[in-house]
A = this chain, B = another copy of it.
Amino acid sequence: MSLVVVGSVAFDAIETPLGSTNGKIIGGAATFISLVSSYFCPRVNLVAVVGGDFPKETISLFKAKGINTEGLQIKENEKSFFWAGKYHDDLNSRDTLVTELNVLGTFDPVIPESYQDCEYLMLGNLSPDVQMTVLKRLRKRPKLVVMDTMNFWMRPEVLPELKAVLAQVDVLSINDEEARILSGEHSLVKAAKVIKKMGPKTLIIKKGEHGALLFGPQDELFYAPALPLEEVYDPTGAGDCFAAGFIAHMASKNSTSLEDMKRGVIKGSAMASFCVEKFGTERIINLTADEIAAREQLFADLVKI
């Protein structure tokens, strides 16, 4: 089934305790989501904006992976979004060193006619206003709308816009810290109840190295472990790869069932576990079907007796 992905396509510069990217690399939520989804969905439709500085080779790579870039606007005389950050020793927190919005500051998403039959929509982390515009510009409401966001959009001055989108989505995927901020509750069980009242029938709370929790429409609870890793090089994009594995599973199965959502959480966890093994998109660009199947098996074995 056809999947539309909206989010940033951008440059990152990253420092972690294990190293640094030594300058700009390719990043952005929609970059990670599209690349990962392309392993599972024959048709991934990208909605994003870049500047003239964005490498043409990367756009060619998207196309080679079967990603439809018709909805990728290129503003030749402007610059791409750029984020630089430094992770703390525990990799659970980070400082933002640079944020240059550039083309993202005036992003007016275009939905090509060929995207209009989209059944699955992934609203990657981005301004809630842009997420809402994409939702509105799709003439037919997709079967399943999944939203990722971050604490930056939970500040009081932008919270109303975030809540407006939340009221429209089926599944929200956020991390534990974000769930606590959004709900004002420390207990994740209580947080889930508060957040589900805001709109999403299903909530996924990502807990990084501690796995992910899915709270289903009827208060069903599912726990997907994370794979214990020797080293985490770079957590950037892990949440995007998680969301990608999830929505790509749903789209490839053309399903909105709870069972498939559980499988989607496992697939998302597996894809995130690849992502953190190298900087940026390095590890997720050239995965083989065998590698992915083997990793998914590791996750299944983790909880198997």
Contact = CB atoms under 8 A, between A and B. Distances in A.
Interface string A206-235: 010011010000000111110011110000
A79 interface: no
A263 interface: yes
A289 interface: no
Given A221-B228, A223-B302, A303-B222, A210 B213 contact: no
A262 B89 CA distance: 32
B223 A189 contact: no
Interface size class of A (residues with CB under 8 A): 20 to 34
A97 interface: no
A187 B221 contact: no
Contact of A223 (B213, B221, B225, B259): B225
A188 interface: yes
B223 A188 contact: no
A30 to B, nearest CB: 29
A105 to B, nearest CB: 38
B303 A228 contact: no
A305 interface: yes
A225 B225 contact: yes
Given A207-B210, A210-B207, A211-B211, A302 B222 contact: yes
A213 B228 contact: yes
Most chain B beta-carbon contacts within 10 A, residue among A89, A263, A302: A302
Contacts of A155: none
Interface in A148-202: 186-190
B225 A189 contact: no
Interface in A252-289: 259, 262-263, 266
Interface string A106-140: 00000000000000000000000000000000000
Contacts of A266: 305
B230 A190 contact: yes
Interface in A81-120: 89-90
A207 B207 CA distance: 13
30 contacts: A89-B186, A187-B228, A187-B229, A187-B230, A187-B231, A188-B228, A189-B228, A189-B229, A189-B230, A207-B210, A210-B210, A210-B211, A211-B211, A211-B223, A211-B225, A213-B228, A221-B228, A221-B301, A221-B302, A222-B302, A222-B303, A222-B305, A223-B225, A223-B228, A223-B302, A223-B303, A224-B303, A259-B305, A262-B305, A303-B303
Given A190-B230, A222-B302, 6 more contacts: A187-B229, A187-B230, A210-B211, A211-B223, A223-B225, A225-B225
